[in-house]
Amino acid sequence: MQGKGVIKFFAILLAVVCLYQLSFTWVAQKVESDAKAIAKGSTEKYTAYLDSMSTQPVYPLFKHTYGYVKQRELALGLDLKGGMNVTMQIQLDELVRKIANNNPDATFNQALANADKLQADAKTSQKDYIALFVSEYEKLSPDGKLAAIFSTKDNQDHLKFNASNSEVEAYLKDLANTAVKQSFTVLNTRINQFGVTQPNIQLEASSNRILIELPGVKEPDRVRKLLSGSAKLEFYQTFDNSEAYQTIMAVDNLLAAKNKTVKTDTSKTQAATTVAAKTDTAAKAGSLLSKVQKNAEKDTSAAALNAKSQLASLHPLLSVMSLNVFPNANGQQSLGQGPVVGYALLKDTAKVDKYLHSALAKSVVPRNMKFLWDVKPLKDAKQKAFALYAIKLSGAENGPVLFGEVINDARADVDQKGSPEVVMIMNSDGAQKWRTVTAEAAAATNKRAIAIVLDDNVYSAPNVQNEISGGVSSISGSFTQEDTKDLANVLKAGRLPAPAHIVSEEIVGPSLGQEAISAGITSSILGLVVVLIFMIAYYNRAGTVAVVAVIINIFFLMGVLTSLGAVLTVPGIAGIVLTLGIAVDANVLVYERVREELALGKSLKIAVADGFKHALPSILDSQISTFLTGLILFIFGSGPIQGFATTLMIGIVTSLFCSLLISRVIFEWMLDKNMDIKFSNPWSSHTFKNANFAFVKNRFKFYIFSTIFIVAGLISIATRGFTYGVDFEGGRNFIVKFPNKTVTTGQIHDAIDATLGRGTEVKTLGTDKISITTNYLIKENNTAADTKVRSTLVQALGTKAETKISDSDILGGAKVSATIADELKTSAVYTVLFAIFVISAYILIRFRKWQFSLGAMIATAHDALLVLSFFSLFNGFLPFSLDIDQAFIAAILTVIGYSINDTVVVFDRIREFLEHKNKDEKTEDVINKAINSTLSRTIITALTVIFVLIVLFLFGGDVIKGFSFALLIGVIFGTYSSICVATPVIVDFGKKDLK
């Protein structure tokens, strides 16, 4: 084997990197464990302790702070960690009214009201709002002209007075899309600044909704306030650094004097600006603290800590921020030009704000001066550092010089040199004010900047070179194309006021995550142990190599997931289960090939080499096809679909590396040591050997079975339907306070499932509250139904002594929107269909026969239909939930991935046998031999995955019982279809062509 040294080097390097990445999770959990011990159940003490540790080194080896390691730990999704799930609706009706200047026309306002009702209706909620409005207007006024309402002086360049209704509709849709994207940008920025670890923010453009998941959030009121605030776009004049510098120094001196430690004088103040060390920021700003921090990283002695403490006492403000200075030609420190006065690390920005807004600071900071942070961190800083701008307030009210509503349009463009820029167009009123403001800025000795501020964050502060008349401005700088798109959206914030309102929210307690994680980890480890024992029992010493490869693969997978910042969810666990099957499958393929080579009388060394060589095409074809499936699911899917796809793709790459390279290196080492490597035990050496099952001959029996099952399932789906989970159908949520604080979610399920249904979601909130969401009577949308559901819940809980409550113990309730489910289902269906199409195209390219593509397509669709049919046919007859929920979608995706992987391996063996077919042999017989020759691999791979799923089903807990059962049924059907459906399709559609 060539390149063993290179493989060993990369394996060791990857292991070290993964160990380092995973260590962040261990360190963060240790700190949080300490916080729980100190807090003793107090949320305030717990939060206070973690806040106090955010800037403290908790990783002794590398001196990393808690805030640093927390940002890099393995992120858990909302379903595993708990937090807050919020759905926000973009109010396009307010946007339309604004564009029409609040036109009082009765027909116009009635059309808007009708469109609002239609969008609120679940049946029409997925339709485009603007299309609904135009349709309703034309119904009310068939001859009415929308241009008469919307064509104004401000938009005459885009919409003429004689424009048709379809042209007006196109214009409104364009503005609506921009407004939705702009709202998404604003919310995204706010949430990122909120400091939530791994937030998930998704834009559902079809319904103008933004789905937000905030794992770990314990301050819902603060989140509601943060998300519900209106976007505020403003333009401000700025101070030059030379003007603001004196203020910064004055604040620092006053704070130092207050400390009463050392009396500062002018020389020390000068030292604060001349002894500053270089940093890695874009402006290479200096700070006295940078030198102390740099030394402190290497020296944790009392002397070093004392030096840092003395600096903080002498220069409180300058100890947490760097001044905007640079070395001039004489080597002296000079002040940088422009509105930036300094820089600070993310962890220090709050302290800088505290100093600059203190009572002492107000005595020296001019009334027309305020300080705002840049919205984005510096691009070339090793740690997150932000620039601080000196903003000049104008007018009697000390406000901006212009507000955002003066913007008519803004677009991303390129200048004459091909560099990205933003073109901004103002209305007539704004153009006049803009001319005055820009003339004043351009006339200054140093060209002044105008700051573009949204939500008190500086998005851009371009210097004004000349007076700008006419209202058309060009904003350029060191922009990327994405930067110009974002800035253009920001500039439209004032012109397109489409506020986002919270329409539903769900709070999930963190103990749910602990229960799910504990059950998942226990069952997964047990399942893995069962699989590894089976591999050793079946493949003897060679099985131990597979065991080592699989364990290394899981270690690499978790390390890569952590390093990429991926979020692990329940669907992600599904991806890990499938990855385990794929990893074992690659080893099984190699081992079965080696056994064939040994049966031909080859030596062990040659048999191992040829086994890897001949198994390689099958492994690559199956893995590439499955990877393509994951890639498409990631690109076009959302939420749980993306979580599954991320884990699957990473798992495939790590599986290939471990199964093909690391396993090979281990075998080479064993051969060099003259170890006796056996690939079977006496009982397994002849398993499936010389198998001759008549799969092809009996194909019509398989057709009949599958057809009957699917038809029965479709009839059941049409008549009985499915039982949807609350995340698909919506429901009513109740927050219940239990007098008995020891009540568990399992006890609550035991009490209410018989009455409210097994699909009811039960999640813990803190130590004595439970969130119960049920879809009982969900189709009845009235007050009487609300009352009945509430009373039924109280009665059901009263059937058990440990869960008994009174009506007053229900602290609150809310309805959960059901439209999310429709969007998720639609997205999942189209994504899966597209994935099947792409995989079929890949198989056509690789196998050069359209029959193979058709077989794979039919087999994949067949598996999905069988699982759906099973869930409808047996719903209510089994002692556990068969609800259709987000976990079920992950299960379907896993089934598709497994089915494609299994089918391609069978196809590969069929292609190989057909290439060596004799003229006298019948095609059907050759294909049947090919199936039987790979039967051992097919069954062994299926068994290993089934073992894991059985353990998950038995020991994984109620949270994943239905999910693991869906996977179990799917893997069985997937194995069946690869042999009994996909292959017969090739035979029946390719009798002439295959000959």
The pLDDT assigned to 269 comes to 36
Average pLDDT rounded to a whole number, residues 237-244 = 90
Q: How far is CA 169 from the centre of its chain?
A: 33
CB contact set of 35 (below 8 Å; sequence gap of 6+): 46, 49, 50, 53
pLDDT at 493 exceeding the cut of 80: no
Residues 324, 249: Cα–Cα separation, whole Å: 12
Pairing of β 209-215 and β 385-392: unpaired
Which two tokens mark 756? 């409210």
Q: Identify whether the C-beta of residue 233 lies closer than 8 Å to the C-beta of residue 490.
A: yes
Assess if residue 292 is contained within a domain. no
- Domain range enclosing 888: 509-676+695-717+823-994
The Cα diameter of the chain in Å comes to 104
663 exposed, middle or buried (CB, 10 Å; 0-12, 13-18, 19+)?
buried
3-state secondary structure of 286: strand
Q: Model confidence over 938-952: pLDDT tens digits?
A: 888 888 888 878 887
Q: Identify whether the C-beta of residue 215 lies closer than 8 Å to the C-beta of residue 75.
A: yes
Assess if residue 786 is contained within a domain. yes
pLDDT at 231 exceeding the cut of 90: no
The pLDDT assigned to 292 comes to 36
Assess if residue 866 is contained within a domain. yes
Average pLDDT rounded to a whole number, residues 544-556 = 89
Q: Model confidence over 288-298: pLDDT tens digits?
A: 334 434 443 44
Which has more confidence, 587 or 269? 587
Q: What is the DSSP letter of 982?
A: I
Find where tokens 């103040």 sit: 269
Domain boundary among 30, 45, 73: 73
Q: Model confidence over 296-321: pLDDT tens digits?
A: 344 444 444 455 566 677 888 888 88
pLDDT at 75 exceeding the cut of 50: yes
Q: Identify whether the C-beta of residue 56 lies closer than 8 Å to the C-beta of residue 308.
A: no
| One domain, residues 226 and 248 | no
Domain boundary among 460, 491, 522: 491
Pairing of β 209-215 and β 277-278: unpaired
Average pLDDT rounded to a whole number, residues 697-702 = 90
Residues 455, 458: Cα–Cα separation, whole Å: 8
Residues 605, 669: Cα–Cα separation, whole Å: 11
Which residue type does 571 have? Answer: P
Residues 532, 535: Cα–Cα separation, whole Å: 5
Which two tokens mark 325? 């200075």
Which has more confidence, 893 or 264? 893
pLDDT band at residue 714 under the 50/70/90 scheme: very high
3-state secondary structure of 243: helix
With pLDDT > 70 as the criterion, what percentage of the chain qualifies? 78
| One domain, residues 220 and 240 | no
Q: Model confidence over 807-822: pLDDT tens digits?
A: 888 876 666 554 444 5
| One domain, residues 741 and 846 | no
Which two tokens mark 890? 């992950």
Residues 887, 836: Cα–Cα separation, whole Å: 20
**DSSP H helices in 720-847:** 726-729, 745-756, 783-797, 819-847
Average pLDDT rounded to a whole number, residues 163-171 = 87
Indicate which CATH number applies to the domain containing 445.
Answer: 3.30.1360.200
The pLDDT assigned to 264 comes to 39
The pLDDT assigned to 236 comes to 92
Q: Model confidence over 874-914: pLDDT tens digits?
A: 887 876 667 777 667 766 777 777 788 788 888 888 888 88
Residues 173, 992: Cα–Cα separation, whole Å: 53
Q: CA 588 → CA 441, 527, 546, 574, 983, distances in Å?
A: 73, 18, 9, 21, 21
pLDDT band at residue 581 under the 50/70/90 scheme: confident
Q: Identify whether the C-beta of residue 73 lies closer than 8 Å to the C-beta of residue 562.
A: yes
Assess if residue 275 is contained within a domain. no
Average pLDDT rounded to a whole number, residues 219-235 = 67
Residues 234, 464: Cα–Cα separation, whole Å: 17
Domains contained in the chain, number = 5
pLDDT band at residue 203 under the 50/70/90 scheme: low
Assess if residue 299 is contained within a domain. no
Instruction: Output the CA angle 846-850-851, nearest 5 degrees.
Output: 110
pLDDT band at residue 824 under the 50/70/90 scheme: low
| One domain, residues 957 and 864 | yes
The pLDDT assigned to 798 comes to 85
Which has more confidence, 887 or 251? 251
Residues 547, 178: Cα–Cα separation, whole Å: 53
Indicate which CATH number applies to the domain containing 663.
Answer: 1.20.1640.10
| One domain, residues 953 and 920 | yes
pLDDT at 268 exceeding the cut of 50: no
**Considering the chain, what is the average pLDDT of its residues?**
78
144 exposed, middle or buried (CB, 10 Å; 0-12, 13-18, 19+)?
middle
Q: Identify whether the C-beta of residue 680 lies closer than 8 Å to the C-beta of residue 536.
A: no
Q: Model confidence over 328-376: pLDDT tens digits?
A: 777 777 888 889 999 988 778 888 988 898 888 888 899 899 999 988 8
Indicate which CATH number applies to the domain containing 788.
Answer: 3.30.70.3400
The pLDDT assigned to 707 comes to 93
| One domain, residues 125 and 252 | no
Q: How far is CA 220 from the centre of its chain?
A: 21
Say what the alpha-carbon torsion angle 346, 347, 352, 358 is, to the nearest 10 degrees. 130
| One domain, residues 33 and 106 | no
Q: Got the DSSP string for 42-82?
A: -HHHHHHHHHHHTTSEEETTTTEEHHHHHHTSPEE-HHHH-
The pLDDT assigned to 392 comes to 92
Q: Model confidence over 114-125: pLDDT tens digits?
A: 888 877 654 444
Residue 334, Ramachandran bin (φ over 0: left; ψ between -120 and 50: alpha; else beta): beta
Q: How far is CA 565 from the centre of its chain?
A: 9
pLDDT band at residue 639 under the 50/70/90 scheme: low
pLDDT at 863 exceeding the cut of 80: yes
The pLDDT assigned to 704 comes to 93
The pLDDT assigned to 96 comes to 85
- Which of 22-36, 68-82, 85-99, 466-480 is the most confident on average? 22-36
> In terms of Cα–Cα distance, which of 502, 505, 496, 493 is closest to 92?
496
pLDDT at 496 exceeding the cut of 60: no
Q: What is the DSSP letter of 338?
A: S
Residue 353, Ramachandran bin (φ over 0: left; ψ between -120 and 50: alpha; else beta): alpha
pLDDT at 265 exceeding the cut of 50: no
Among 278-287, 651-660, 883-892, which is the least confidently predicted range? 278-287
Q: Model confidence over 438-487: pLDDT tens digits?
A: 888 888 767 788 998 877 888 888 888 888 888 888 888 777 777 787 77
Q: CA 799 → CA 27, 735, 752, 769, distances in Å?
A: 44, 19, 8, 19
Average pLDDT rounded to a whole number, residues 743-753 = 78
Which two tokens mark 274? 């001349």
The pLDDT assigned to 370 comes to 92
Q: Identify whether the C-beta of residue 284 lies closer than 8 Å to the C-beta of residue 326.
A: yes
Q: Got the DSSP string for 410-478?
A: EEEEE-TTS-EEEEEEE-HHHHHHHHHHHHHHHHSSSPPBEEEEETTEEEE-PBP-S---TTEEEEESS
| One domain, residues 221 and 249 | no
Which has more confidence, 481 or 255? 255
| One domain, residues 618 and 513 | yes
Assess if residue 843 is contained within a domain. yes
Count each helix (H run) and each strand (E run) in the chain, helices first.
Answer: 36, 27
Name the CA radius of gyration of the chain, rounded: 33
pLDDT at 715 exceeding the cut of 90: yes
SS (H, E, C) 74-120: CEECHHHHCEEEEEEEECHHHHHHHHCCCCCCHHHHHHHHHHHHHHH
Which two tokens mark 454? 């949204």
> In terms of Cα–Cα distance, which of 699, 994, 995, 694 is closest to 852?
994
pLDDT band at residue 49 under the 50/70/90 scheme: confident
| One domain, residues 851 and 989 | yes
Among 304-313, 654-663, 743-752, 879-888, which is the least confidently predicted range? 304-313
Q: How many CA atoms lie within 13 A of 977 on its CB side?
A: 30
Which two tokens mark 571? 């669907």
- Which of 198-207, 699-708, 827-836 is the most confident on average? 699-708
Which residue type does 925 have? Answer: D
Dihedrals phi, psi of 320, to nearest 5 degrees: -120, 5
Domain boundary among 816, 836, 854: 816
The residues facing 369 across adjacent strands are 392
| One domain, residues 752 and 663 | no
| One domain, residues 533 and 554 | yes
Assess if residue 603 is contained within a domain. yes
Assess if residue 276 is contained within a domain. no
CB contact set of 392 (below 8 Å; sequence gap of 6+): 236, 237, 238, 239, 368, 369
pLDDT at 216 exceeding the cut of 50: yes
Cβ count near 33 (within 10 Å): 10
- DSSP H or E run through 403: strand 402-403
Residues 709, 290: Cα–Cα separation, whole Å: 71
